[in-house]
Amino acid sequence: MAKRQPEGGQDPVVQRIRLRYAKRGPMRFTSHRDFARAFERALLRANVPIAYSQGFTPHPKVSYASAAPTGVASEAEYLEIGLRAVVDPDDLRAALDAALSPGLDVIEAVQSPLNGGGSLADRIDASAWHLELPGITPASAEAAVRAFLAAGEVLVERLTKQGKRVFDTRAAVVRLELLEASSALGDVPSGVAEAPCAILDLVVRQGTPTVRPDDVLSGLRVVADLEPPVPPRATRLAQGVLTAQGEFVDPLAADRPAAVVGASSLV
């Protein structure tokens, strides 16, 4: 069995693995910090030969790319780990998925080059979202979307670690459109059997500061006084490089052809 805790003079990284994972159901309320702690515990439970940094306080070699905000679901979260022994990516995915709580689901694991190839962050410049707006009619949502897209800029205010900050949400939005309307049951005020639920398709480019779904919803409130009677639900569907044709290049696509030779099992 591999050592669980480093004792100095750390072994070098001999394999890099990139993972795609999801935050589903109640686990959407897991903060990035809480997920990072849960993931480190999962590495230990799954007996993953994780590599550690050098120094007096070694840390697991784990790096995250554009983590989703607390409170939103996601089907497209990414991270990279460095290992001190070669493993089979499929075995690793299964072991980590079993070691994490249901709703924190590891979807894919691929090997990436030890040197070169760029970072995960280099392969992400935009993200796609679905925004569910319970209690909002399609007509109201469509009017708000038209007003937002017609505006030259839409300024909103957000409280950050540096204090209150005002920024333009319109410039980051590549696409915003009404997808459909459906009945929302169980997510409306007490005494109301059902209500319409407008669903928006949102694509945003990532910049500084990053424009989040709640920022766009704040923008819709600014331009059209649109405010759902119950909290909206946001789900990130994709991340990657956005092409001129409006399609996403999967951050793991360039790594998938790589084969693993001489891999050891985690079990």
**CATH code, domain with 215:** 3.30.70
Task: Tally the domains of the chain.
Answer: 2
Average pLDDT over residues 164-182: 89
Query: Does the residue 34 lie in any domain?
Result: yes
Query: Does the residue 6 lie in any domain?
Result: no
Reported as a pLDDT band with limits 50, 70 and 90, residue 8 is: low
Residues 92 and 144 placed together within one structural domain of the fold: no
CATH value at residue 22: 3.30.70.580
Average pLDDT over residues 193-204: 87
More confident residue, 130 or 8: 130
What pLDDT shows up at residue 42?
A: 98
Q: Is the pLDDT of residue 183 over 70?
A: no
Q: Beta strand 104-112 with 15-23: parallel, antiparallel or unpaired?
A: antiparallel
Reported as a pLDDT band with limits 50, 70 and 90, residue 39 is: very high
Enter the DSSP assignment of 170.
G
Please identify, among 73, 102, 119, the residue that sits at the C-terminal boundary of a domain: 119
Query: Does the residue 9 lie in any domain?
Result: no
Reported as a pLDDT band with limits 50, 70 and 90, residue 68 is: very high
**220: closest CA among 136, 164, 159?**
136
* Averaged pLDDT score across all residues of the chain: 88
Enter the DSSP assignment of 125.
S
The residue written with tokens 């990130």 in the block is: 236
What pLDDT shows up at residue 55?
A: 82
Q: What pTM, to 2 d.p., does this model score? A: 0.86
What pLDDT shows up at residue 181?
A: 54
Over the stretch 19-34, which tens digit does the pLDDT of each residue have?
Answer: 999 999 999 999 999 9
Reported as a pLDDT band with limits 50, 70 and 90, residue 196 is: confident
CB 43 within 8 Å of CB 4 = no
Determine the structural domain holding residue 168 and report its residue range. Answer: 124-248
Please identify, among 119, 135, 155, the residue that sits at the C-terminal boundary of a domain: 119
Q: Is the pLDDT of residue 261 over 70?
A: no
Distance CA 108, CA 98 (A): 13
Over the stretch 50-66, which tens digit does the pLDDT of each residue have?
Answer: 999 988 889 999 999 98
Alpha helices in 100-247 (DSSP H): 138-150, 213-224
Query: Does the residue 33 lie in any domain?
Result: yes
What pLDDT shows up at residue 102?
A: 97
What pLDDT shows up at residue 264?
A: 46
